[in-house]
């Protein structure tokens, strides 16, 4: 299973809406016959890749009497590809060991199919590691909507800009580079029309490999034709306008677009709407050692008037982001206090 997990975690894949999955086929003596991993939506599943590799290496009957070790319960559905449970059974596999039960209701049920076919099935081996490998995907599939990470960059007093609207130099270059890493990890970046009108962001990933996230804008106002989001983006960059103010509706539409992980980067109003709806799964907060005393707050009205009603979170990680050479070499950096140590906090809602 360790080997199957390593295969599943192969770096540099563009999985789209699909999970990471690895598979190892063992012969009756326990020796490895073949391996496979899933490369992403539209490509063969890990089990099918391993079965194909086994046939190429050892002939058509290679998997007869074999054991399949898979990080996810083999699927029972015909989605973009056929059911893996059938493929394993038809190939003559007699034993299947899997880690995580498939949380996707459309695909689950493979274990039952295999048991029904007389295959010896063992589930749950290394399930925690397998789930962690697909943590966001698993959560999204269980919730039936994309996972939402709210990114916010503030001063010590929770301001996101100065009164005159300047916000460019609140956090350090190191913190802003970290945001690009974060964008590269999600499949969607979401802002409100207000942010487009105020800040005209590009919302592209720079200095990171991999696919560009979808740039989603939420709200009923039209985007100015001159905005950077309205203009055709660089290669591979897509934009979509969700004409709603309802976070539930926006996420439902993004789910239909096969989105699994949304980075919420909008302003205080949008953040408040998602928080009030209970639709923030994670917060990544960049905090700069500065005070403004006035200026827009990180989040709008949450309807909280008494301390017992405060939105509470648990700290998952706190990382000190030291200033980098970028911070020090920016012409106005040191003078503006930019070359400061920032802190990145990762938080999750407290479960009552
Ligand atoms: C497996 N092995 O390698 C993967 C599985 O649209 P499809 O046909 O690619 O199906 C995607 C679903 O199938 C996915 O959401 C998950 O439930 C399962 N993925 N299953 O047995 C694999 N990638
Ligand atoms: Zn499958």
- ipTM of the modeled complex: 0.93
For residue 203, what are the CA distances in angstroms to 160, 206, 215, 341? 17, 9, 7, 24
Tell whether residue 195 is among the known ligand binding residues.
yes
Hey, which residues does 152 pair with through a beta bridge? 285
pLDDT at 199 (0 to 100): 86
Same domain, 193 and 135: no
Which range is least confidently modeled, 11-20, 143-152, 300-309, 320-329? 320-329
Q: Catalytic: 47?
A: yes
How far apart are the C-alpha atoms of 132 and 96, rounded to whole Å? Answer: 21
How far apart are the C-alpha atoms of 205 and 183, rounded to whole Å? Answer: 6
How far apart are the C-alpha atoms of 284 and 286, rounded to whole Å? Answer: 7
pLDDT at 166 (0 to 100): 85
Residue count of the chain, please give it: 352
Higher pLDDT, 332 or 185: 185
Same domain, 88 and 170: no
At 148, the pLDDT band (50, 70, 90 cuts) reads very high
Q: What's the whole-number mean pLDDT along residues 275-280?
A: 98
Same domain, 70 and 162: no
Kindly give the pairing relationship between strand 239-242 and strand 214-218: parallel
Task: Tell whether the model's pLDDT for residue 333 goes beyond 80.
Answer: no
Task: Tell whether the model's pLDDT for residue 230 goes beyond 90.
Answer: no
Same domain, 309 and 326: yes
Into how many domains does the chain fold?
Answer: 2
* pLDDT tens digits for range 40-87: 999 999 999 999 999 999 999 999 999 999 999 999 999 988 899 999
State the CATH number of the domain containing residue 53: 3.40.140.10
Q: What's the whole-number mean pLDDT along residues 190-202?
A: 91
User: For the chain, what is the mean pLDDT?
Assistant: 93
pLDDT at 328 (0 to 100): 67
Q: Residue 281 C-alpha to ligand 2 middle, in angstroms?
A: 28
Residues 6+ apart with CB under 8 A from 213: 183, 184, 186, 187, 188, 189, 203, 205, 263
Q: Write phi, then psi, for 82 (nearest 5 degrees).
A: -85, 170
Same domain, 282 and 319: yes
Quote the percentage of the chain above a pLDDT of 90.
83
Same domain, 264 and 126: no
Task: Tell whether the model's pLDDT for residue 301 goes beyond 50.
Answer: yes
Task: Tell whether the model's pLDDT for residue 288 goes beyond 70.
Answer: yes
Q: What's the whole-number mean pLDDT along residues 96-125?
A: 97
Please give the structure tokens belonging to residue 219.
Answer: 């709200």
Same domain, 109 and 156: no
Q: Residue 105 C-alpha to ligand 2 middle, in angstroms?
A: 13
Task: Tell whether the model's pLDDT for residue 118 goes beyond 80.
Answer: yes
Tell whether residue 272 is among the known ligand binding residues.
yes
Task: Tell whether the model's pLDDT for residue 252 goes beyond 80.
Answer: yes
Same domain, 106 and 227: no
pLDDT at 206 (0 to 100): 79
Q: Which of 78, 111, 140 is the last residue of a domain?
A: 140
**What are the E-state strand segments in the chain?**
22-26, 32-37, 67-72, 95-100, 120-122, 147-154, 188-192, 214-218, 239-242, 261-264, 282-287, 313-321, 342-349
Residues with CB under 6 A from ligand 1: 18-19, 21, 38, 41, 45-47, 72, 74-75, 79-81, 84, 102, 104, 107
Same domain, 71 and 193: no
pLDDT at 335 (0 to 100): 47
Among the bound ligands, name the one nearest to the CA of residue 78: 1
Higher pLDDT, 247 or 168: 247
Q: Residue 262 C-alpha to ligand 2 middle, in angstroms?
A: 25
Tell whether residue 306 is among the known ligand binding residues.
no
Asked if 42 contacts 70 with a C-beta cutoff of 8 angstroms, the reply is: no
Range of the structural domain that residue 281 is part of:
145-349
pLDDT at 340 (0 to 100): 87
Q: What's the whole-number mean pLDDT along residues 196-222?
A: 88
pLDDT at 329 (0 to 100): 65
Same domain, 195 and 73: no
Q: Which of 140, 161, 189 is the last residue of a domain?
A: 140
Same domain, 114 and 175: no
How far apart are the C-alpha atoms of 352 and 63, rounded to whole Å? Answer: 48
DSSP string for residues in 276-342: HTT---EEEEEE-S---SSS-BSS---S--SGGG---EEEEEEEEE---HHHHHSTTHHHHT-S--E
How far apart are the C-alpha atoms of 54 and 20, rounded to whole Å? Answer: 20
Q: What's the whole-number mean pLDDT along residues 94-107?
A: 97
Q: What's the whole-number mean pLDDT along residues 128-151?
A: 98
Task: Tell whether the model's pLDDT for residue 332 goes beyond 60.
Answer: no
At 331, the pLDDT band (50, 70, 90 cuts) reads low
State the CATH number of the domain containing residue 323: 3.40.430.10
Within 10 angstroms of residue 174's Cβ, the number of other Cβ atoms is 21
How far apart are the C-alpha atoms of 240 and 217, rounded to whole Å? Answer: 6
Q: Which of 140, 172, 201 is the last residue of a domain?
A: 140
Asked if 264 contacts 271 with a C-beta cutoff of 8 angstroms, the reply is: yes
């Amino acid at each position: 299973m360790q080997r199957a997990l390593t295969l599943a975690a192969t770096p540099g894949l563009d999985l789209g809406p699909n999970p990471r999955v690895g598979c190892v086929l063992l012969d009756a003596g326990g020796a490895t016959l073949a391996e496979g991993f899933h490369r992403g939506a539209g490509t063969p599943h890990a089990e099918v890749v391993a079965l194909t590799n086994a046939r190429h290496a050892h002939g058509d009957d290679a998997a007869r009497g074999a054991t399949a070790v898979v990080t996810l319960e083999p699927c029972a559905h015909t989605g973009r590809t056929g059911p893996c449970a059938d493929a394993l059974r038809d190939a003559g596999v007699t034993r299947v060991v899997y880690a995580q039960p498939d949380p996707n209701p459309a695909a689950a049920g493979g274990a039952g199919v295999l048991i029904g076919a007389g295959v010896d099935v063992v589930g749950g081996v290394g399930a925690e590691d397998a789930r962690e490998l697909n943590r966001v995907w698993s959560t999204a599939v269980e919730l039936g909507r994309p996972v939402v990470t709210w990114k916010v960059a503030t001063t010590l007093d929770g301001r996101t800009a100065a009164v005159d609207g300047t916000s460019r130099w609140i956090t350090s270059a190191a913190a802003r580079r970290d945001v690009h890493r974060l964008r590269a990890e999600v499949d969607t970046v979401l802002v409100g029309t207000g942010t487009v009108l105020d800040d005209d962001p590009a919302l592209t990933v720079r200095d990171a490999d991999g696919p560009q996230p979808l740039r989603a804008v939420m709200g009923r106002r039209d985007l100015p034709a001159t905005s950077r989001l309205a203009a055709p983006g660089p290669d591979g960059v897509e934009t979509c306008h969700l004409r709603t103010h309802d976070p539930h509706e926006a996420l439902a539409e993004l789910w239909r677009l096969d989105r699994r992980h949304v980075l919420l980067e909008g302003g205080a109003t949008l953040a408040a709407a998602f928080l009030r709806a209970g639709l923030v799964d994670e917060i990544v907060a960049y905090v700069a050692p500065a005070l403004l005393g006035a200026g827009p707050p990180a989040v709008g009205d949450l309807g909280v008037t008494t301390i017992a009603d405060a939105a509470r979170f648990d700290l998952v990680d706190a990382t000190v982001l030291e200033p980098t050479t970028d911070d020090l070499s920016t012409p106005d950096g040191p003078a503006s206090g930019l070359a400061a140590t920032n802190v990145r906090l990762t938080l999750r809602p407290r479960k009552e």
